[in-house]
């Protein structure tokens, strides 16, 4: 039996994740998930790829806002309410409208990064579509890299950890949904799944980058897990771990929900040997 074992929300792109027992599924992913994003003076997005110290900023969801904590800069509260000041911001190849949050937060982040940084929010009016090569027209996401959800099986991480000298925790891979049960990398072939009376569809295996080599507690970089994954999880010069999902309706997902597999992929692009 496959069961949802962990759920994570990442309110601010590339900062710490928040483990939750229940998550609300909205049109563009979990509620609050990557609805905020840090940008530089050119309104280009920031991630741990260039700024690994982003991992050190921990996030808690509170009534009315977020509590942000940094080892040296202390804590600051971020209200859910943003300004009406619009900016065109860029995340990967997409340019979309974001709202500035407030100057106090910009100053707090800028002090950490030692560059000019602004925090922006994605309003409901912004509808950023996922890559239509792999998903139907009209499917939207937040400031996530590409899709509303990333799912990984615990068995897949267990398989990887057996090959490593020092085992890694799931936070290296920043999933939204983790499940137990099944064989390693079973999520690769999940085409149509259902849990909590909602239908989800696997659309693309997730290509992994250097963020997986960053310890999410210390922000230190290493060679793993990419070095080991490259030996058995490579396809077309990409290292694959986890599958991106889209969904058909809104509702609630809870830890402990049963996952039912209704259809499986047979296309060659989902086969990793």
Residue 1 burial (10 A CB sphere; 0-12, 13-18, 19+): exposed
What number is the average pLDDT over the span 234-262? 97
**57 pLDDT more than 90:** yes
Q: How is residue 7 written in tokens? A: 């759920």
CATH 1.10.287.110 fits 3-10+17-29+130-270, yes or no: no
**273 pLDDT more than 90:** no
Percent of the chain predicted with pLDDT > 90: 97
**9 pLDDT more than 90:** yes
Give 91-117 pLDDT, tens digit per residue. 999 999 999 999 999 999 999 999 999
The model's pTM is 0.97
Give 123-181 pLDDT, tens digit per residue. 999 999 999 899 999 999 999 999 999 999 999 999 999 999 999 999 999 999 999 99
DSSP codes of every residue in 37-67: EEE-TT-BB--TTT-GGGGG-EEEEETTEEE
Predicted local confidence at residue 16, as pLDDT: 94
Q: Would you list the domain boundaries of the chain?
A: 3-10+17-29+130-270, 33-126
């Amino acid at each position: 039996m496959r069961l949802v074992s962990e759920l994570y929300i990442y309110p601010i792109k590339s900062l710490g994740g928040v483990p939750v027992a229940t998550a609300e599924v909205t049109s563009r992913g979990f509620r609050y998930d990557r609805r905020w994003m840090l940008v530089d003076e050119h309104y280009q997005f920031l991630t741990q790829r260039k700024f690994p110290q982003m991992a050190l900023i921990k996030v808690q969801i509170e009534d009315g806002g977020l509590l942000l904590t940094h080892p040296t800069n202390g804590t600051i509260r971020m209200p859910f309410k943003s300004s009406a000041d619009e900016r065109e911001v860029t995340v990967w190849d997409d340019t979309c409208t974001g709202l500035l949050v407030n100057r106090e937060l910009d100053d707090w982040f800028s002090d950490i990064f030692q560059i000019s940084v602004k925090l922006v929010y994605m309003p409901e009016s912004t509808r950023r579509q996922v890559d239509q090569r792999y998903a139907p027209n009209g499917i939207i996401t937040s400031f996530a890299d590409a899709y509303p959800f990333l799912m990984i099986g615990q068995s897949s991480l267990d398989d990887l950890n057996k090959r490593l000298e020092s085992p890694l925790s799931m936070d290296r891979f920043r999933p939204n949904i983790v499940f137990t049960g099944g064989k390693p990398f079973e999520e690769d072939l999940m085409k149509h799944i259902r849990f909590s009376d909602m239908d989800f569809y696997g659309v693309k295996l997730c290509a992994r980058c250097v963020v997986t080599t960053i310890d999410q507690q210390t922000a230190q970089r290493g060679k793993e897990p990419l070095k080991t994954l490259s030996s058995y999880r490579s396809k077309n010069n990409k290292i694959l771990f986890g599958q991106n999902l889209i969904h058909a309706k809104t509702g609630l997902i809870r830890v402990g929900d049963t996952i039912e597999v209704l259809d499986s992929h047979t296309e060659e692009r989902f086969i990793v040997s």
